[in-house]
Amino acid sequence: MIRLENLTKSYIVGQQRKYIFQGLNIELPTGKALALLGRNGAGKSTLLNIISGAIPADSGRVVTDGTMSWPVGFGGSLNREMTGQQNVRFVARVYGVDTATLEAFVRDFAELGEHFYTPIRTYSAGMKARLGFGLSMGVPFDTYLIDETTAVGDARFTRKSRSVFRERVKSASAIMVSHQMKMVRNFCDSGLLMHEGQLTYFDDLDEAIALHLKLNG
């Protein structure tokens, strides 16, 4: 269960305060793979980052009774001066999982070769995304937060990433931000639509997609 209580987020643009959303109140169901839909700039990634705890809301709170991933592929979760291996070991300690098991999974999954033992600051964006995705999939969470990052390499690696993700969400919830409706239909079974600062839940994914395309197509 994830419940948003009076959640508000805004930014200062020029001399004015721009509200991304104000007073959001909604409870999201457990055991669903939710597609978070909306136009560019609607606040989808902002909401996902607030739910994960990566950025704060202006006011209100997020209440959950389970464990939550960071946004998959979120580069901010990696320490640039530490190696890939050291980052993995640090995450294992933080989340209380077996270090050797997580290290073996991520090293095999990310396919970074010797770069796994070099500092993150030497990585390309794609390498960081692969390490971040592997870390997220290697730690068991009750809810996975995905921000259009299941395509993190060539076609073969993308297929592998999606296969691992599908396996994880068989026993967990997920919230996915994506502009690719084919991907949404492949992974999700219900929808959330962010429009003009309001968030609406749809048990019927096709209904959510249809309204999204009508409003933003």
* AA identity, residue 1: M
Please answer whether residues 113 and 122 qualify as being in contact, where contact means their C-beta atoms are separated by less than 8 angstroms. Answer: no
Domain assignment present for 97: no
| CA atoms of 94 and 186, how far apart (whole Å) | 32
Q: What is the pLDDT of residue 4?
A: 97
In whole angstroms, what is the distance from residue 141 CA to residue 95 CA?
Answer: 10
Is 87 part of a structural domain of the chain? no
List of E strands, 102-158 = 143-147
Answer yes or no: is pLDDT of 60 > 80: yes
Percent of the chain residues past pLDDT 70, beyond the cut? 94
Full domain range(s) for residue 213? 1-67+176-217
Q: Does any domain span residue 124? A: no
Q: Give the tens place of pLDDT for each residue, 17-29.
A: 999 999 999 999 9
In a domain, 164, yes or no: no
pLDDT at 82 over 90: yes
Does the structure show a pLDDT above 90 at 129?
Answer: no
Task: State how many domains the chain has.
Answer: 1
* φ, ψ dihedrals at 93, nearest 5°: -65, -40
Residue 149: pLDDT over 60: no
Query: pLDDT: is 216 or 56 the higher one?
Result: 56
The domain that holds 61 is classified in CATH as 3.40.50.300
pLDDT band at 58 (very low <50, low <70, confident <90, very high): very high
Per the prediction, the chain carries an average pLDDT of 90
Give residue 78's pLDDT.
84
